[in-house]
Amino acid sequence: MMLVDKSIRLRSLERLARQVFSCYAVTPMKFSSLLPNGAFLPLASSFSTSSSRSSYIGRAPLTIPPEVEFNVIPLSRGSNGSTRTGTSSLGQQFQAQIKGPLGTLSMSIPSFVNINHDRESRKLSISVQDKDSKTQRAMWGMVRAYLNNHILGVSEGHTAILRLVGVGYRATVETTAFTKKPEFEGQEFVSLKVGYSHPIEIPVPKGVKASVPQPTRILLEGPEKEVVLQLAAKIRTWRVPEPYKGKGIFVNGETIKLKSKKIK
């Protein structure tokens, strides 16, 4: 009885729809196609009056701390007037230089990215030439994220904390190594004892400071976030956390869900 009532109700709605559309030059369609998941819905998006697309990350302004100095430097040009760039595919013509108490960092800026530096309010506004271009929108957010990381790096620094979980696991920072040669004068090495028959010696790159506040804790500090996290990931590869006993090297707040052993 309920199915009969629904079919009668649907037919009456279809008749009403035909009467409404009869005064327009529109082919009558079934009422079911007017439902939200019907074929009529995609047509509504073509009448959108919203503004042009933009990057949610890229359009957010950046604040420069008082102790940080920001400059945009044009890259040097060759004898034929062409700009010397590292990767010509992006047309990089400018270089952003960020100087702070913890060091100086620089990065290349694509030619289609515009940086507006308001020195009075110490604000950075980033935009691109073509907001409808997928490549430019992606680079828009990426440039903003890298600039933010560099500004924080030279003013406050970036850190990574590693936890060693396992019986007998411990770490030390050494000034010499038996299996590695130093790449520069004064280079230090992180020595790991994580269940192998010999210590694992990992060189610390330039600009990164490694310390061991506890035998099972490693603290990495540096102005460049990418370098700090790359070193943390390199150390982690020697004992990736395993899900049965929960042993391994954990980076920052990393956790792992333990699995139960399979019993035959």
For 23-133, where are the alpha helices, taking DSSP H only? Answer: 41-45
* pLDDT band with cut points at 50, 70 and 90 for residue 196: very high
Q: For the residues 207-235, what does the mean pLDDT come to?
A: 97
Mean pLDDT for the chain overall: 81
Classify residue 64 by burial, with Cβ atoms within 10 Å: 0-12, 13-18, 19+. buried
pLDDT, position 239: 96
Residue with tokens 């040669």: 181
Classify residue 133 by burial, with Cβ atoms within 10 Å: 0-12, 13-18, 19+. middle
Between CA 113 and CA 90 the distance in angstroms is 10
**Dmax (CA) of the chain:** 89
Percent of the chain at pLDDT exceeding 70: 72
Whether residue 40 contacts residue 21, with contact meaning beta carbons closer than 8 Å, is answered with no
pLDDT tens per residue across span 135-186: 888 888 899 999 999 999 999 999 999 999 999 999 999 999 999 999 999 9
- pLDDT of residue 197 exceeding 80: yes
DSSP 223: S
For the chain, where are the alpha helices, taking DSSP H only? Answer: 2-21, 41-45, 134-155, 225-236
Between CA 10 and CA 155 the distance in angstroms is 67
Residues 6+ apart with CB under 8 A from 25: none
- pLDDT of residue 23 exceeding 80: no
pLDDT tens per residue across span 10-19: 676 676 666 6
pLDDT tens per residue across span 30-73: 444 444 444 444 444 444 454 456 566 778 899 999 999 999 88
- pLDDT of residue 86 exceeding 60: no
Whether residue 251 contacts residue 236, with contact meaning beta carbons closer than 8 Å, is answered with yes
* pLDDT band with cut points at 50, 70 and 90 for residue 28: very low
pLDDT, position 138: 86
Q: What is the pTM of this model?
A: 0.71
| Domains with residue ranges and CATH for the chain | 62-155 (3.90.930.12), 158-251 (3.90.930.12)
